[in-house]
Structure 1
Amino acid sequence: MKTTAAAPVRGRSLWDDALIRLKRNRAATLSLGFLVAMALACIIGPLLTGHGYDQVYRSYVKVGPSLTPYPRAETVAPAARRALRRARVEVGEDIVIGDGIVRIPVSSEGELDQRIVRYIDRGDIFSGARLEDLAADGRSAVIVADIEQLTFLFGTDATGRDLLTRTLIAGRISMTIGLLATVVAIVIGVTYGSLSGYLGGRADLLMMRIVDVLYSLPFIFFVILLVVFFGRNFVLMFIAVGAVEWLDMARIVRGQTLTLKRQEFVQAAEALGVENIGILRRHIIPNLTGPVVIYMTLLVPKVILLESFLSFLGLGVQEPMTSWGVLISEGARDIEGNPTMLLFPALFLTSTLFALNFIGDGLRDALDPKDR
């Protein structure tokens, strides 16, 4: 009688076990989903709002958030009168509004100049103005114009720009700076720290003293020096933040490397004649992945906060581009007149930071070898 061999049992790797533990952490998984949704909203959202991030609506400065489109029906007639104030015409009392069109009766002591419709089209409320029902003597007519329907879900800022679009664009800048600066900090910190810890001796002493000297430089002083040489731009933020934050990573990696290089598998590789670069690349750095990934999730919110702080001081992203720090700075100046200018950017920033911190806590628990 033939017996079928049982299928080999496939074991779980440490990474598979960590992934299962991470999925069980509801706060971390929800935060990861929220972060993905936030990134997609910042990438795709500005294309769907119907407003440019630098488009100015002079007729809608500091308007509040609303689900219904502007202008309000009660503001159309006063806006038409204000627009024709310099046209030297008499505006009738019976302004008719309906079906997205306004009809404004006008009259003049002399013959009407047909160019008066330009006064109507100058603002953001009306468009396509034209003269109709012109009298035989040319002294009276009706100006007909389309009413532009504009929706501002988050309202507008102090210059009349859509706050929703600018908040989403600011998210692009803040998260991009956070990710890029974090990648730079990790690449430099992991390379520097692992090399220092593995070489040891005088090399380690010299490399760590260099880190101590860089630690002693005030961050703001370092940023001001970069502003003098590079100016205020996106590259400055990338260089300034990334070139400073690698110091913590280097210290963390050095401490882990000092522990790893005493392990049996590293000593075996040394006994087999593997070069130092090969040991670092194959044995030391791969075993540092857990702490590095955890620190990366905690470094991204720190970098975003640093960028917001620098932009708040006026040393970061410059107009017309924006970031969450810039928007919070503008909202803080106008908090009494329009608190929503501060509320929405601050809400986006704090929710993103909370999500990143929850993900970091989840990864720390999932990758902790003492908690398996």
Structure 2
Amino acid sequence: MEDIVKKDIRSLDLKQLKEVFTQMGEKSFRATQVYEWLWKKSALNFDEMSNLSKDLRENLKNHFVINAVKINSSQFSADKTIKNTFKLYDTHLIEGVLIPTTERMTACVSSQVGCSLTCKFCATGYMERKRNLNADEIYDQVVLINNQAIENYGIPLSNIVYMGMGEPLLNYTNVLKSIDRITAEDGLNMASKRITVSTAGIAKMIKKLGDDEVKFNLALSLHAANDAKRNEIMPINEQNSLSALAEALKYYFAKTKNPVTYEYIIFDGVNDSLTDAMDLAKFCKHVPCKVNIIEYNPISFADFTNADVDKTEIFANYLKKQGINTHIRRSRGKDIDAACGQLAVKESN
């Protein structure tokens, strides 16, 4: 007898689940109960579903799997940041980070195993992209990091940033489905405004976010407002020039009315001059926005260094004088390679 290939039950939406239950001779309300167990109560196995009969649970086990993400290891930083290596059902590894500050408790989650982009300053960019994460694998990271926040600090998550491994907009469908489950009333019921998706800049997908009239926040990893410089550090710019991005962002803003955040890692001698600040100020005129200037976190693959503190202040002050909402962000979790641009894991298949 051939083994039955079991389907990932969380790949089904509620309508599909109801159809399956009807075919199994079960009442459709049972599908709603299972759906609630999966997405509202974050059940990791069918035995937890205590309001289902034992026979139904066994039947579900025979036909379906829950491909739950597990914590493989955790590292604790001196600043209380926690970096997790998560193991997926097929043994691939990804990383996700809990970032606690006085104002918020943030989960930084991954959207791909590795990354197909080759940003020169980012450790993940030196990894091969193995596959996209499924929506439930992104959702699981949020659940696990939220549990960690409550267990360690007594405070649940307040924010989620899609700034871990991978390019979220190259896994568009699963990223949006994960956000739907995280924000839905029959899911985790978190506010869309507490979620930020960060992209290296894929113009056509930014427009698609506009068409889909998304409610979450968009951040663009800009890092240079000059095409020649951006091409050098972010090869994706060669196909997605600053003018193409500006056009896409205008379209996105017209559709969503959401201001955009520009992330700008400031490198010594690369993008830290007053001319660079002027270029950035010009780019900021396209749509309402704010700028986060981010410290560079060194990685072994690249020889960039962080800009001088005084230069960073001069750069930020110039933007502020132009009326641009600007913040200098200090990195967290640097001592455990959990800071921006430092996420990379070695596979252990």
TM-score w.r.t. length of structure 2? 0.21
Higher strand fraction (1 or 2): 2
TM-score w.r.t. length of structure 1? 0.20
Larger radius of gyration: 1
Higher helix fraction (1 or 2): 1
Structure number with greater CO (CA < 8 Å, separation at least 6) is 1
